[in-house]
Amino acid sequence: MHSGNWWRFVTFEESNKSKPVLDRALLRRVFQYARPYLGALSIVLVTITLTSLLGLLPPLIYRELIDVVLPSGDLRLLNLLAIGLFAVPLLTGLLGVLQRRYSARAGEGIIYDLRNQMFDHLGRMSMRFFTNTRSGEIVSRFNNDVVGAQSAITGTIPEILTNIVTLASTLIVMLTIEWRLALLSVLVLPLFLLPARRVGLILRKIRRQALDYNAEMSTQITETLTVNGALLMKGFNRLPAEEARFRRVSANVRDIGVRRAEVSQLFFMGLGLVGAVGSALVYWVGGWMVLNDALTVGTIVAFTAYLTRLYGPISSLTNVQVEFVTALVSFERVFEYLDLPIEIQDKPGAMRLERVEGRIRFEDVWFQYQGPLFGDAPAMDAGDANGDEAALPIRHALQALNFEIKPGALTALVGPSGAGKTTITYLLLRLYDPTAGRITLDGIDLRDIALESLAQQFGIVSQETYLFHDTIRANLLYAKADATQAELEAACRAANIHDMIAALPDGYDTLVGERGYRLSGGEKQRLAIARVILKDPRILVLDEATSHLDSQSEMLIQTALESLLRGRTSVVIAHRLSTILAADKILVVEKGRIVEQGTHRELLAHGGLYAALYETQFRDQVAAV
C-alpha cells in the first residue's frame, strides 16, 4: 500500500467525514478471523435461539394463569405453571453459561490470532517504522484496539442475532394472539429510525477520537514511567510539567468518555420514549377491547409483556449500525498496521548461508532516509539514538561508497558526528537497503540472502547496551537458546565478567532490572560482549563507547574486545586510539562520503581529515599509546 494512500485512510479528519456505513470488503476481512471459530459461534447461535424461544413462555404462562387457573381453581395446572416459571430462568441461565463459554473461546481466540499476526508483522518492519512510531501507540493497538476488534465478533454480532431471533419470534406470537394490537405495536417503528443515522456518525467520531486519546496517554506513560524516562524527568526537574501534561491528556480521555456516555444515553432515552408511545397505544386500545369483552385480561397482560421483548430488540437493532460500525473502527486500526508494507524482506528463493568467509564490498552505494511510513513527509536523514546521523532534510546520508573489507580484517570507521558511520553499519546489517548500488557478502548481494541466514552471520555490540528485565542467564541465552552452563561461563570469562557474576548472591540467575540498570555501564557492555561471544558470529559490528567508563572498566572491556575481535571480520565505529592503530584499514567518513582510506601511518602522512581528527579527538590518548 502506498504510504500516501495509507495516510489518507487513517487521517482522523477524513474518518470523521465518513458516514457510518458497513464496508463489505472490511466485513469479508473481519469474517476471515471468525472462520476458524465457526463451530463455537454456531453453538453460540443455537443457545441464542433456544434462549429467545424460552423467553416467549412466561407471558403465555401469565395468560393461562389469569384466564384459566384463577377462574377454574385448577390446582394441578397451577403447580405445573409454577414449575414452568422456575424452569424457564433455570434453563435460560444454563444456556447462558454455555453461550458465554463458547463465545469466550471464539473471542479470546480472535484476540490471540490478531495479536500474533500483528506481532509477527511488526517484527518484520524496517527500522523506519520504529524510528517514526511512538511505542505507546503500538501498545495501544495491541491492547485497546485488538480487544475492541474482538468485541465486534463476540459481542456485537451475537447481540444482533439475539435481537433478530427475539424480534421475529415475538412478533409471530403477538400476531397469533391479537393481530390488530400487533399491527398497532409496529406502527411506531419508523420513529426508531429517525435518530439512528445522526447518532451513528457522532459516535463513530467519538470512538476514533477516544482511541487516539488513549494512544496518546499510553505513549506518555511508556515514555516517562520507565527507567530512562524517569531519570530524564527527575534530572531536569520536569515532573511538574509532565504531571500537567498527563492531566491534560487524561482529561481528554475523561471528557471524551463523558461525551460518549451522554450521546449514548440521549439516544437510548429517545428510543425509550418511542417505546413508551407504543406501549401507551397498546394499553389504551387493549384496555378498550377488554372493556368491550373483545379481549381477555390474561391476553392483554401477556400481550403487554411481549411489548418489552418487541421494543427492546427494535431499539438495539436500530442502533446496530451504530454499534457495529463503531466496533469495526478497532478492526480498521488493527488493519492499518497489518497493511503497512514490509520494506525489508526475503526475495523468492533467497539463499541460505552456512559459513561465510566474511568478504564485504560496498559498490557505488547511495542511501537516503525516507520519510515516515505514516505520511508523505519529506525525506529526512534519521539518526541513531546517539545522534550519529543528524536529521538533515532532503540529502543523501551516504553517497557513492566504494570499499572492500577482506575476510578476518578489522576495519575502523572514523569521522565527525553525523558523517554517516552508523548508517553504514545499518546497511551492512540490512536494517535498511541501499537507495542505489549494492552491498555484497562473499560476492552475493545482501538482498539475495535470506534475512534469518544473514542475521546468523553477524554479531552486534551497540553503543547503548540493551538488556531485558530478566536474569543474566536469560539475557545471555538470547544469543544461543541451547547454550550450556559451561558455554555461558566460558563466554563470560572471555568477556571478563564471570567473576563479577559469580560473586552475586544469585549468580547467573540475578535479575538485571529494567534495561539492565542494576548493572554499571561497564558491566552491561561486558555482558553484551559475552552475549556476542556466545553467538560466535563470523562478522562483528561494534560501536565503541568508553567516554563514560572508568579506566578499570575500559581496560576490562578492551581485553574482552581483543578476544571478541580475534579471527573475525570486524567493522568498528572506533573511539579508541588502540582500535584505530590495530585496524587493517581505516575508512574516514565525512558528509556521507569516504574521503580517505588506508592504514594509520598512511593517513597520518597524507595530512588530511584523518590527521586533523587524530590531533583533536585522540590527542588525550596519544600519550597512553
Contact 336, 14 (CB under 8 A): no
Q: 568 vs 391, which has greater pLDDT?
A: 568
Average pLDDT of the chain?
79
Pull the grid cell for residue 623: 600519550
Q: What's the distance, CA 100 to chain centroid?
A: 27
Contact 379, 371 (CB under 8 A): yes
pLDDT at 449: 92
Confidence bin at 445 (pLDDT 50/70/90):
very high
pLDDT at 64: 85
Lowest mean pLDDT among 18-32, 58-72, 92-106, 375-389: 375-389
pLDDT at 392: 38
Q: 314 vs 452, which has greater pLDDT?
A: 452
Strands 539-543 and 458-461: parallel
- Mean pLDDT, to the nearest integer, of 497-508? 89
Q: Domain residues of the chain, as ranges?
A: 3-338, 360-622
pLDDT at 196: 60
Lowest mean pLDDT among 261-265, 280-284, 372-376: 372-376
Q: Return the CATH number of 360-622, one of 3.40.605.10, 3.40.50.300, 3.40.50.20, 3.40.50.180.
A: 3.40.50.300
pLDDT at 172: 87
Residue 162 has pLDDT above 50, yes or no: yes
Q: What is the pLDDT of residues 12-64, one digit of tens each?
A: 333 333 444 456 787 788 888 888 988 888 898 899 889 888 988 888 888 88
Q: Return the CATH number of 3-338, one of 3.20.20.70, 2.102.10.10, 1.20.1560.10, 3.30.230.10.
A: 1.20.1560.10
pLDDT at 27: 79
Residue 501 burial (CB count, 10 A): 24
Confidence bin at 441 (pLDDT 50/70/90):
very high
Task: Outline where DSSP puts E strands in 333-452.
Answer: 360-367, 398-405, 410-414, 436-441, 444-445
Residue 9 has pLDDT above 50, yes or no: no
pLDDT at 545: 57
Residue 423 burial (CB count, 10 A): 26
Residue 596 has pLDDT above 80, yes or no: yes
What is the number of residues in the chain? 625
Residue 343 has pLDDT above 80, yes or no: yes
pLDDT at 481: 86
For residue 418, give the amino acid letter: G
pLDDT at 380: 37
Tell me the percentage of the chain whose pLDDT exceeds 90.
13
Residue 373 has pLDDT above 70, yes or no: no
Dist CA 583 CA 585 (whole Å)? 5
Lowest mean pLDDT among 50-54, 123-127, 186-190, 197-201: 197-201
Model pTM?
Answer: 0.68
Residue 105 has pLDDT above 80, yes or no: yes
Q: Half-sphere exposure of 489 toward its Cβ, with a 13 Å CA cutoff? A: 6
Name residues whose C-beta falls within 8 Å of residue 39's C-beta, 6 or more positions apart in sequence: none
pLDDT at 83: 92
Residue 395 has pLDDT above 70, yes or no: no
pLDDT at 594: 92
Confidence bin at 461 (pLDDT 50/70/90):
confident
pLDDT at 391: 40
pLDDT at 390: 38
Q: What angle do CA 461, 463, 469 make, to 5 degrees?
A: 75
Lowest mean pLDDT among 354-363, 386-395, 462-471, 514-523: 386-395
- Mean pLDDT, to the nearest integer, of 509-538? 83
Q: 622 vs 504, which has greater pLDDT?
A: 504
Name residues whose C-beta falls within 8 Å of residue 277's C-beta, 6 or more positions apart in sequence: 188, 191
- Mean pLDDT, to the nearest integer, of 141-152? 76
Residue 262 has pLDDT above 60, yes or no: yes
Considering only CA atoms, which of 47, 55, 150 is closest in space to residue 102?
47
- Mean pLDDT, to the nearest integer, of 532-552? 75
Determine the 3-state secondary structure of 543 from DSSP. strand
Residue 402 has pLDDT above 90, yes or no: yes
Contact 302, 60 (CB under 8 A): yes
